[in-house]
Structure 1
Amino acid sequence: MALYSERSKWHSAQEPLASEEYVVKAMPAVLGTVEMTAFFIVIVFFITNANTASTAGPAALTYLVVGAIVFFLPSVIATAQLGVMFPYEGSLYNWTHKAFGGYWSFFAAFCAWFPGVLVMVSAADNVLAFIQGLNRQWVMQPWQQGLVIIGTLALAGLLALQRFRTVANVILVAASAIVGALVILGGAATWWLLSGHAPLSDFGEVEAWLPTLAPHGGNIATFGLVILAYLGAETPLNMAGELKHRRVITRHLCWGPLVVLLGYLIATTALLIVEGPTSGALLPALVATVDLSLGKMAGNLMAVCLIIFFFAAIVAYNCSYARLLLVAGIDQRLPAGVGRLSRSRIPARAILFQTLMAIILAALIFIVAPLVVHVGSPVDLTTEVYNVMLASSTLVWATSASFLFANLIMLALRNREAFHAQLILPAPVLWGSVVLGLLSSLFAVVDSLIFSWIPALIPNGSWWYIIGGVTCFCLIIAAIGSMFAASEADWQGLNGE
């Protein structure tokens, strides 16, 4: 039986959105707990964040646990609460509409959608990195890298256009592949120690586990990046209208976050033991860790697991974020055509649009920029442009994540009795999560503005202005776009479209 045959018990001041009824009637309910857990793992768990975390030494493990407590768990709790109250396609878009209305719903959705396109490029770049892990002499020039990334995005886009049951099976394979990769990493670290090697990080000093503030930031900069690594808890629920049962919402939010946290801890620990905090920062370090401990054959198997995982991550992001365009088109905040479904009952036009956008971004970063701008080496320029865009879009994403907590506050203020009647956890737990989530997301934004992601290429003093400027520009575009979207919806509504 399809989910949501009866309306939510919450009586909102907002009228029901057209997308709330359309999706459950037009799209098949194929996602169970296992599939949604797999989507959660593939979307949220970017294992390469362990490389960044490892630069802080054993303190990285402290940051991962604290970040999970102050941001990841609050985000999961907020997502579960909102998902139970409003189990509709579009997640944050729908929830923000209920709390703040049409303008802010489009703004929050845009701030979530825009980074998703760049994360698709980032995942394709990781596919390239692990292909190079098989042979480090392959694809050395930026234009060559750009062509491989574009080809990867195109292939992933074609896969995303298949029947959703097929796509869900691919995501299940990818989740299995990353679990296999973690088993290999854990085995590599264990064998390294059992074979008589000393860990290349000092785990015995208490100070190594603690945050440090030095003249240039110490390891505190890593904490902000760790918090940002936990973004995206709500993203799988963009497909909430396609769930088999309502209980899938809470069940996948129990298992998925547990796997993500354990995954980050295992990967970071393995890097610290075998590679050490400095070498672990390099992207191929995950494969090199296995190479050093278990040999080249195991390392190649590790690389293949990661290639499968990141290729499927592109598909998962494409499918999930296409649902934001879908519901916006159905609700007349974007041209209606973007919300049309293919014969397979998937938002094919939205998927094609996102794939094209990602390909254009990849071409600009890896091909056009090195050819047009002749400042320094092409490789450095590509790295600078890529990290500036990724950092700025991540901060925009963090802005959208803050709406998880703001929505709960507004909904409680609007109808306290109805809100508390649907609490899935005690009120003190929920409001503690709201406070922690808002404060930690603010800290992550400030931390990422102050400390450069690539200090060797862009110093902290310049980073602040560049990232702050680009982020503000993106938010202004989102604000202007939201005004047009709201006015378009009003105009079409008046004309009976």
Structure 2
Amino acid sequence: MTENELLSERVAGGILPRVLTTFDMVAIFVAIVLFITNAAVIQSAGPAAFAWWIIAFVLFLIPCAIVTGQLGAMFPGEGSIYLWTTKAFGPFWGFFAGFCAWWPGVLVMVATGTLTISFLGVVFPAVGGLSVQEQGGLIVVILVLAAVLAVLRFRLTQNVVNVVFLAYGLAILLMFAAGIAHLAKGNPAATNPWDFAAWSPSAEHGVNFANWSFFGLAVLALLGVEVPLNMGVEIRQERAVTRYLLWGSLAVMVAYLVATWGVMVSVPAGESAGITAVAQAVGIGLGDWAGKLVALLLAAMFFIITVVYNYSFARLIFVSGLDRRLPKAVSHVNAQKVPDVAVWIQTVLAAVFAAVAFVVVPFTAARPADAQTEVYNVLQAAVTVIWCLSIVVLFVDVLIILRRYRAQFEARRLASPAVFWVASIVGALASLVGVVATLSGSWTPLISNDAGAITLFGAEIAYGTWFWLVGGIALASLAVGALLYLAGVRVSRR
């Protein structure tokens, strides 16, 4: 091993097969980043939603892609942010950054399970009528089925992902077509998307600091740019690193814009912010059958997203096992050369969370549905805060690495150092806005956040019960990450 080379850098490439093409990486990128339901959630901003999307693309998505492209070109090993932070700051901080990126992935799998059920409920009313506990049981089934698919031969699993990815694209095109069809029938737009006056700083939801929470929402909808490089050694050609970032970013930007337009034009303003409004828009514009078809396609895609999250984030703890930051067993691969133990560890953790949030807590509460909503939203918000913090680390990593590894940078230089400084500063600030937006705005009316507020540049940052719950759980999770490193190293040394 050369100086500063990790064991995982040296051996992971000999354990895991190189199977991923540029198209595969784009499909993974879209599955990780593009939650098309955000095109409905952002409808509360009205026509200004497009302005907030564009600002978030420029100030967050593009800086993330620039920085990730350079780091991936210099160090295309397994584990992305885990590897890069170790290069920049050493083993503890590398593991800690990897934990901050990994933990959200585990709990997001529960969110994708709930979205799968939501869209199935559009087509099959019996599914939508399940009790909270029954939904929890179904989510566990979804998690297990996703894990079974994730531990098959990687090429086989990725082929399935690619097919559903194409269906996802069709569903999004139908959302856009539905808006066109709705207008072509002589119907007025439910909300005028061309009302550029709504972008004005003086407008109710216009571009000003007082409406900064819309920017935070858009940032949260774009997290995960670096995740496909968790599988860095499994890419066939190095050029796929920069190509997936280019084409994947373009696909995400176009998809969010056209889906937002389709929902805004078709769905009445009072209903457009619901997560299933993306399917409802198609039903309004193209007919009930088309709406149900899109709902089925989205249910299939969110199930596949669960698979992609599982195998992508499993690589983070797989490399930690190789480097003895965690017990050796975590780095086990099955006969298909897939990190199966890591996949099943994540599945069990996600299933436990689902059981607690959907079964245990509601069973002991007077209002089961409310209790489930509170627990679910608080934990999802807490891991979102952690994920945003890990992205701040990503932007710091590139600045340290450019100085520390000058030879590697010059050999694989993608842009001037000034570009990375600008991208890092802008992107880190945008990430911090995502953190503050999550802490400030309660995701459910069941939990208040009205104890007080701080005004900064016209932006009102609220605090209260929601703030302390989410912030406290995020801090506790970070402490667990540090303790897990110490315990893992001790066990590995034994």
TM-score after normalising by structure 1: 0.92
Partners of 1:297 and 1:432 lie apart in 2 by 48
Partners of 1:456 and 1:373 lie apart in 2 by 14
Partners of 1:418 and 1:204 lie apart in 2 by 47
Q: Write out aligned runs for 1:72-221 (5 A).
A: 72-138=61-127, 139-210=129-200, 219-221=211-213
Q: Give me the CA root mean square deviation.
A: 1.9
2:355 to 363, 386, 398: 363
Q: Which digits, 9 at most, give the CA deviation of each residue in 1:398-453, with x for residues without a partner?
A: 11111211101212333456535532022322221111101111111112211212
Q: Structure 1 147/55 Cα, relative in aligned 2: closer, same or farther at 3 Å? A: same
Q: Which digits, 9 at most, give the CA deviation of each residue in 1:335-393, with x for residues without a partner?
A: 1011011111111111111111111111111111101233xx21122111111111110
Partners of 1:359 and 1:281 lie apart in 2 by 28
1:260 is matched with 252
Residues 57 and 276 in structure 1, CA contact (< 8 A), matched pair in contact too: no
Report which stretch shifted further, 427-436 or 448-457: 448-457
Matched, 1:60 2:54: no
1:205 deviates by: 3.9
Partners of 1:35 and 1:161 lie apart in 2 by 17
Residues 440 and 449 in structure 2, CA contact (< 8 A), matched pair in contact too: no
Residues 44 and 273 in structure 2, CA contact (< 8 A), matched pair in contact too: yes
Partners of 1:195 and 1:213 lie apart in 2 by 30
1:397 deviates by: 0.6
Residues 447 and 465 in structure 2, CA contact (< 8 A), matched pair in contact too: no
Residues 31 and 243 in structure 1, CA contact (< 8 A), matched pair in contact too: yes
Report which stretch shifted further, 171-180 or 271-280: 271-280
Report which stretch shifted further, 397-406 or 270-279: 270-279
Q: Structure 1 157/415 Cα, relative in aligned 2: closer, same or farther at 3 Å? A: closer
1:213 deviates by: 7.3
1:425 is matched with 415
1:351 is matched with 343
1:310 deviates by: 0.6
Q: Which digits, 9 at most, give the CA deviation of each residue in 1:171-222, with x for residues without a partner?
A: 10121011011111011111011111111113454442246679xx964322
Residues 102 and 486 in structure 1, CA contact (< 8 A), matched pair in contact too: no
Residues 314 and 346 in structure 2, CA contact (< 8 A), matched pair in contact too: yes
Partners of 1:67 and 1:46 lie apart in 2 by 15
Matched, 1:283 2:275: yes
1:319 deviates by: 0.5
Partners of 1:276 and 1:471 lie apart in 2 by 37
The code of the aligned residue for 1:371 comes to F
1:3 is matched with none
2:404 is matched with 414
1:40 deviates by: 0.8
Residues 384 and 458 in structure 1, CA contact (< 8 A), matched pair in contact too: no
1:140 deviates by: 3.1
Partners of 1:137 and 1:381 lie apart in 2 by 22
1:31 is matched with 20
Report which stretch shifted further, 449-458 or 319-328: 449-458
The code of the aligned residue for 1:158 comes to V
**Matched residue SS, 1:47:** coil
Q: Which digits, 9 at most, give the CA deviation of each residue in 1:444-470, with x for residues without a partner?
A: 111221121223543443211111111
Residues 85 and 393 in structure 2, CA contact (< 8 A), matched pair in contact too: yes
Partners of 2:296 and 2:61 lie apart in 1 by 29
Residues 6 and 323 in structure 2, CA contact (< 8 A), matched pair in contact too: yes
Matched, 1:249 2:249: no
1:476 is matched with 479
Q: Write out aligned runs for 1:272-351 (5 A).
A: 272-351=264-343
Partners of 2:172 and 2:313 lie apart in 1 by 27
Residues 380 and 457 in structure 1, CA contact (< 8 A), matched pair in contact too: no
Partners of 2:330 and 2:402 lie apart in 1 by 33
Equivalent pairs counted in the alignment come to 476
Percent identity over the alignment is 37
1:439 is matched with 429
1:4 is matched with none
Partners of 1:74 and 1:319 lie apart in 2 by 26
Partners of 2:490 and 2:401 lie apart in 1 by 24
**Matched residue SS, 2:270:** helix
Report which stretch shifted further, 383-392 or 409-418: 409-418
1:295 deviates by: 1.2
Partners of 1:278 and 1:232 lie apart in 2 by 30
Q: Structure 1 82/268 Cα, relative in aligned 2: closer, same or farther at 3 Å? A: same
Matched, 1:454 2:444: yes
Partners of 1:194 and 1:65 lie apart in 2 by 27
**Matched residue SS, 2:45:** coil
Partners of 2:192 and 2:290 lie apart in 1 by 26
1:296 deviates by: 1.3
Partners of 1:459 and 1:384 lie apart in 2 by 13
2:460 is matched with none
Residues 189 and 273 in structure 1, CA contact (< 8 A), matched pair in contact too: yes
Q: Structure 1 353/55 Cα, relative in aligned 2: closer, same or farther at 3 Å? A: same
Q: Structure 1 466/227 Cα, relative in aligned 2: closer, same or farther at 3 Å? A: same
Partners of 2:114 and 2:148 lie apart in 1 by 18
The code of the aligned residue for 2:482 comes to A
Partners of 1:234 and 1:294 lie apart in 2 by 36
Q: Structure 1 210/144 Cα, relative in aligned 2: closer, same or farther at 3 Å? A: farther
Partners of 2:341 and 2:215 lie apart in 1 by 39
Partners of 1:203 and 1:37 lie apart in 2 by 29
Partners of 1:240 and 1:31 lie apart in 2 by 9
1:18 is matched with 7
Matched, 1:378 2:381: no
Q: Structure 1 380/352 Cα, relative in aligned 2: closer, same or farther at 3 Å? A: same
1:15 deviates by: 2.2
TM-score after normalising by structure 2: 0.92
The code of the aligned residue for 2:218 comes to V
